[in-house]
Amino acid sequence: MTRIAIVEGDGIGHEVIPVAQNVLELLHPEYEYFPVEVGYHRWEMTGCPCADHDIAELKTADAILFGAITTPPMKDYQSVILRIRKVLDLYANLRPVKGNGFDIMIVRENTEGLYSGIEEISADRATTLRVVTREGTERVVRSAIRLAQQRSGRLTIGHKANVLKSDVLFRDICLAEAKSSGVSCNDKFIDALALDLLLHPASYDVVVTTNIFGDILSDTTSYLVGGLGLVPSANIGDRYALFEPVHGSAPDIAGQNIANPIAALRSAGMLLAYCGDAQGSDRIESAIQEVLSGGIRTRDLGGSAGTREFGDAVIRALIRKE
């Protein structure tokens, strides 16, 4: 039996993930769904945002549907999502940005870089170690190359090798791997790439870059499709996979039934494709498009529908197409 861990997390995660879970349960009632509670709210209640037994539970899942996490600015608070990515070795973060005339897949290295977690904090100085390794780079660029080979065969490497020596290593390894695989490849400085992606999105297919650059780049390019509320992501490793909307926990709008659930729904679609049901993934996207075309939109898209109401409309669209 396919087992799906449901992690709502914090903030609007409690609103958008139930919408996505309802859709999964409609399409696959035979799956086993089980909750795992982690995050800042869990820390407030227990003093521990993510325990070892929570990680052990996540490891029993075939896939994880993950909501949003609040990470408070406290030096003794460890980021829950960063810990999960590292412990499960989810080294490739896939962030699709697809719109009218363009289809971009940003592949972000997910376990090292500036999010290495190696930090020192004193009264007058804080230091974060940026880690780029050959192993980490090779495996993420190979994931990007496989995706490029399945798509149009074009790969772009985003880096800042003109300033950062660690990016020289990243760039050179990526170029060598692309050359040996026969994939068409070019590289760009990350600042120029961010601008050109916004100006000429149709010129790009698969983009691979380091951890923080990939985080910023995918958030920036979400502008092309209407904002963070619409963009999903997948965190993929050799054994485990976690799917989450790109947006954060948005505590300022939490509990108001106004969050856009599309990113969570699309994350559920990516989860289904990973589990072998590409048709189910396509059905979710088709239902989303039907609802939007019918004029049902959340407030961030200029409409008046609530989170639950939009989810109900997607359910109805899926049922009509059965």
Active site residues: 115, 160, 191, 215, 219
d(CA 173, CA 192): 21
Determine contact, residues 257/304, Cβ cutoff 8 Å: no
Q: How many other C-beta atoms are found inside a 10 Å radius of the C-beta of residue 128?
A: 15
Pairwise CA distance, residues 78 & 111, whole Å? 14
Strands (E), the chain: 3-9, 32-35, 63-68, 92-99, 102-109, 119-121, 126-128, 154-159, 184-189, 206-209, 232-236, 241-245
Residues 6 or more apart whose Cβ sits within 8 Å of residue 94: 105, 106, 107, 108, 143, 147, 233, 234, 235, 236, 270
Angle between the 165-181 and 134-150 helix axes, to the nearest 10 degrees?
A: 40
Closest CA to 60 of 32, 79, 38, 80: 32
User: Shortest CA distance to 260 belongs to which of 224, 218, 226, 234?
Assistant: 226
Count of Cβ atoms closer than 10 Å to residue 33 Cβ: 16
